[in-house]
Amino acid sequence: MPSTPTRVAVRLAGICKRFGAVAANADVNLSIAAGTVHGIVGENGAGKSTLMSVLYGFYQADSGSIEVDGKPALIRNSDDAIGLGIGMVHQHFMLVDTLTALENIMLGAEPHWLLKRADAKVRAALEKLMQDTGLHVKLDALVGDLPVGDQQRLEILKALYRGAKVLILDEPTAVLTPQETTHLFKVLDHLRSQGTTILLITHKLKEVMGLCDCVTVMRAGRVVQEMPISEASIEGLAEAMVGRKVQMGRVDDGKQSVGEVLLALRQTQVLDEMQVLRLSDINLELRAGEIVGVAGVSGNGQSELLDVLSGLLTPTAGELTLGGRTFTPAAWLDPRTARTLGLAHVPEDRHARAMVMAFAAWESAVLGYDALPEYNAGGWMNHRAMRSATAGMMERFDVRPPNPELGSSKFSGGNQQKLVLARELGQSPKVLLVGQPTRGVDIGAIEFIYSQLRAMRDAGCAVLVVSSELDEILVLSNRVIVMNQGRVTGELAIEDCSEAKLGLLMTGGGH
């Protein structure tokens, strides 16, 4: 770890920013030492992203001042920020899928009006930059064809190419595999050693402890704690974020009473349109009163497994038994039938599959359940009943703000996830499928989500949890299956699990 520099790269003093009656930032003071990684943590809605958006010029502070390299800085927009050497990589990447990596970097920053000459100049500069930083990307590949990890490296490259000496990363590992996360942290460590200052906004406290030099905790728009990482602990940071002690570890529930098989999958295979085997010979049983965790590096068949079980994907071969009925590929389960048989599904991607971002919250809260008698009489939808039901869901699941009329896109990721869970759990399903339950979710919401999943299990529901977070699998599961390249490489009772053992199975070894 480098010695603490004395030079301050960025200083924010007395920053206040309001949105109507809401004080997103209230008299925030923050100093970032040059050449360090500085973590900024807090619950969703704590003001972290707003503060960084003020620094990057997306928002103008109502009051307060900014200094960059010891000089007063007027940042009216992102062009001003870039001119001052500040770059930002957003949680949802700002890339054009139909352009190449090189074209994305050049876009808006072409060094010459002759594009062929500009192309050669930028390419040469990027080749050197990639060599210096370890951020290697195929420059001629279409962005839409690049893996998520490569897209993120491209975003960082773009910021560095434009002269960023201060790099803001907003939830950088939310969509990365463990391997991509490890590679990213090596790159960030290298950039720090070269003098780049990094501001890391994240919910993942283990990453803060492993990477950062200093950490600032925000709550309700204010800084409530700031300390060197050597003085911090995961438990202390979690308590500062939420304002109370947080139970994040495994709850000692005693031996669970496991009941009958509620869902069974037999000899199931999936071939994709390119005839690539995505699932191979999958056998799975889900029993009443247990949580089964599915561990594995993303992209090893977990998504296809969820789609097959929920009726979104018809397999090439196999058999599914649910609610006393058996389904084969000739007549596979469909999502509406799944719901009538007591199966609920919380998809991995809540934006693409669980909500309609342009809808009001009450509309997203009844998706898939609009035909229920309480919402629908003789083909006429009862919007008043839907709004009332949504208000009840919001109260029970502590969705903030509790406004059914607010657009779905206006809620934080954690509150969107709680609304989806409220919808799916509200019908007391017998089988619950949950993909990535806490992706992009803060610690307070994680604790709540875990408690709800355990409550479903204790009520006799069979719960399947797919997560790329190994810690989450170990905390929640009664039984764990591990997938690699579309196959189940191991199945273990939780008492037989360890990170090392599961990690070996995740790579295809140990079986």
DSSP string, 455-498: HHHHTT-EEEEE-S-HHHHHHH-SEEEEEETTEEEEEEEGGG--
pLDDT value at position 114? Answer: 47
pLDDT value at position 307? Answer: 97
Whether 118 shows a pLDDT value over 70: the answer reads no
320: Cβ–Cβ under 8 A, 6 or more apart, which residues? 263, 264, 265, 266, 268, 308, 309, 326, 327, 328, 332, 333
Written as one letter, the residue type at 510 is G
Residue 34 is encoded by which pair of tokens? 């040059």
Q: What is the mean pLDDT of the chain?
A: 90
For the residues 470-497, what does the mean pLDDT come to? 94
Q: At what angle do helices 148-161 and 115-133 cross, to 10 degrees?
A: 110
Domain boundaries, position 383: 356-428
Q: Pick the residue with more confidence: 504 or 316?
A: 316
Same domain, 183 and 161: yes
- For residue 1, tell me if it sits in a domain: no
- Rounded-to-integer distance, Cα 282 and Cα 261, Å: 16
Residue 410 is encoded by which pair of tokens? 């206006």
Q: Where among 217, 242, 267 does a domain terminate? A: 242
Same domain, 470 and 415: no
Residue 420 is encoded by which pair of tokens? 């989806």
463: Cβ–Cβ under 8 A, 6 or more apart, which residues? 286, 290, 291, 292, 431, 432, 434, 453, 456, 457
The alpha-carbon radius of gyration of the chain (Å, integer) is 24
pLDDT in tens, 190-223: 999 999 999 999 878 888 999 999 999 999 999 9
**Mapped to the 3 state alphabet, what secondary structure does 60-99 carry?**
CCCEEEEEECCEECCCCCHHHHHHCCEEEECCCCCCCCCC
CA atoms within 13 A on the CB side of 68: 18
pTM: 0.75
- For residue 3, tell me if it sits in a domain: no
Q: Where among 428, 454, 484 does a domain terminate? A: 428
pLDDT in tens, 285-323: 999 999 999 998 778 899 999 999 999 999 999 999 999
Same domain, 213 and 255: no
- For residue 451, tell me if it sits in a domain: yes
> Do 45 and 411 form a contact (C-beta atoms < 8 A)?
no
- For residue 351, tell me if it sits in a domain: no
Same domain, 326 and 277: yes
Same domain, 203 and 319: no
Going by pLDDT thresholds of 50, 70 and 90, the confidence category of residue 3 is low
* Chain centroid, CA 439 distance in Å: 3
Q: Where among 374, 402, 428 does a domain terminate? A: 428
pLDDT in tens, 232-287: 999 999 999 988 888 766 765 555 689 999 999 999 999 998 899 999 999 999 99
CATH number of the domain enclosing 449: 3.40.50.300
φ and ψ of 234, to 5 deg: -60, -45
Written as one letter, the residue type at 301 is G
- For residue 106, tell me if it sits in a domain: yes
pLDDT in tens, 342-393: 999 999 999 889 999 999 999 999 999 999 999 998 889 999 999 999 999 9
For the residues 154-168, what does the mean pLDDT come to? 92
- Rounded-to-integer distance, Cα 409 and Cα 355, Å: 9
83: Cβ–Cβ under 8 A, 6 or more apart, which residues? none
- Rounded-to-integer distance, Cα 9 and Cα 448, Å: 38
Same domain, 265 and 282: yes
Going by pLDDT thresholds of 50, 70 and 90, the confidence category of residue 116 is low
CA atoms within 13 A on the CB side of 348: 19
Going by pLDDT thresholds of 50, 70 and 90, the confidence category of residue 487 is very high
Same domain, 206 and 318: no
| Three-state secondary-structure class, residue 56 | helix
Whether 107 shows a pLDDT value over 90: the answer reads no
CA atoms within 13 A on the CB side of 263: 27
pLDDT value at position 52? Answer: 94
| Tally of domains within the chain | 3
Same domain, 421 and 435: no
- For residue 197, tell me if it sits in a domain: yes
Same domain, 394 and 291: no
Question: What percentage of residues in the chain have a pLDDT greater than 90?
Answer: 68
pLDDT in tens, 67-86: 999 999 999 999 999 999 99
Same domain, 21 and 96: yes
Same domain, 421 and 433: no
Whether 410 shows a pLDDT value over 90: the answer reads no
pLDDT value at position 135? Answer: 86
Same domain, 412 and 472: no
- For residue 2, tell me if it sits in a domain: no
> Do 61 and 67 form a contact (C-beta atoms < 8 A)?
no
- For residue 350, tell me if it sits in a domain: no
pLDDT value at position 106? Answer: 86
